[in-house]
């Protein structure tokens, strides 16, 4: 199968959600869909991504989007993840990897020189007619909604170096005041 591109028809699928209910992409005709693939429930990056989408779910719905998360985890694990993080959207259990293969998200990865197969963190934004209108392949897990909607700003987190410089300046200023105070006390006692 050729790689999916913006403007391609999104492949239809049927897969179970966390409750064992069958979900078809064609059921969403007339609505936009955020179909996001992620590696594993309850891991730091995947939790950050899910929580960003959870926190912005009302906004996404107002803009006409339905959110569907996809991983190879089981229905049972999805149910636990949803309960733990209070996720308002469905997670699809692609345990046989058929949906991953349809969308080209089951890929060879490498960690510490070891090669293995796993899920590529990719999001497909599908329009009301089932056409892929955008593909986010470099997902910012903490600001994923801003990548989808594009007109809301990403949350800026200060760089570690900037934080440590600020902290160092604050500590130095406090220490300098403490030394000056102590020196003043010593000078008063000498008088």
* Structural domain boundaries in the chain: 14-149, 158-191
Strands in 14-163 per DSSP E: 14-16, 22-24, 32-37, 65-71, 90-93, 106-111, 114-119, 122-126, 132-136
* Residues noted as catalytic: 46
pLDDT of residue 1: 47
pLDDT tens digits in sequence order for the chain, 191 residues long: 457 899 999 999 999 999 999 999 999 999 999 999 999 999 999 999 999 999 999 999 999 999 999 999 999 999 999 999 999 999 999 999 999 999 999 999 988 889 989 999 999 999 999 999 999 999 998 989 999 998 766 554 434 444 445 445 555 555 566 556 666 665 666 66
CATH no. of 14-149: 3.40.30.10
Nearest-angstrom CA–CA distance, 13 and 23: 8
| Beta carbons within 8 Å of 114's beta carbon, 6+ residues apart | none
pLDDT of residue 2: 52
Nearest-angstrom CA–CA distance, 50 and 144: 9
Please name which of 71, 60, 55, 48 lies closest in space to residue 121, comparing C-alpha atoms.
71
- The two tokens of residue 34 are 């955020």
pLDDT of residue 160: 42
Number of other CB atoms surrounding residue 20 within 10 Å: 10
Nearest-angstrom CA–CA distance, 35 and 32: 10
Please name which of 135, 126, 98 lies closest in space to residue 9, comparing C-alpha atoms.
126
pTM, 2 dp: 0.78
Nearest-angstrom CA–CA distance, 138 and 47: 16
């Amino acid at each position: 199968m050729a790689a999916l591109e913006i403007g391609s028809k999104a492949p239809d699928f049927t897969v179970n959600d966390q409750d064992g209910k069958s979900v078809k992409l064609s059921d969403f005709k007339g609505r936009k869909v955020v179909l996001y693939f992620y590696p594993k429930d309850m891991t730091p990056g995947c939790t950050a991504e899910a929580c960003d989408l959870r926190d912005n779910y009302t906004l996404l719905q107002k803009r006409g989007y339905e959110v569907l998360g996809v991983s190879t985890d089981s229905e049972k694990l999805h149910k636990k993840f949803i309960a733990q993080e209070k996720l308002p959207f469905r997670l699809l259990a692609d345990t046989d990897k058929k949906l991953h293969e349809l969308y080209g998200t089951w890929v060879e990865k490498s960690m510490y020189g070891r090669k293995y197969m796993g899920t590529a963190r990719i999001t497909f934004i599908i329009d009301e007619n089932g056409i892929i209108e955008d593909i986010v392949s470099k997902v910012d897990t903490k600001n994923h909604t801003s990548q989808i909607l594009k007109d809301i700003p990403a949350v800026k987190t200060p760089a570690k170096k900037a934080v440590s410089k600020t902290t160092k300046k604050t500590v130095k200023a406090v220490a300098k005041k403490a030394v000056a105070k102590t020196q003043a006390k010593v000078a008063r006692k000498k008088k």
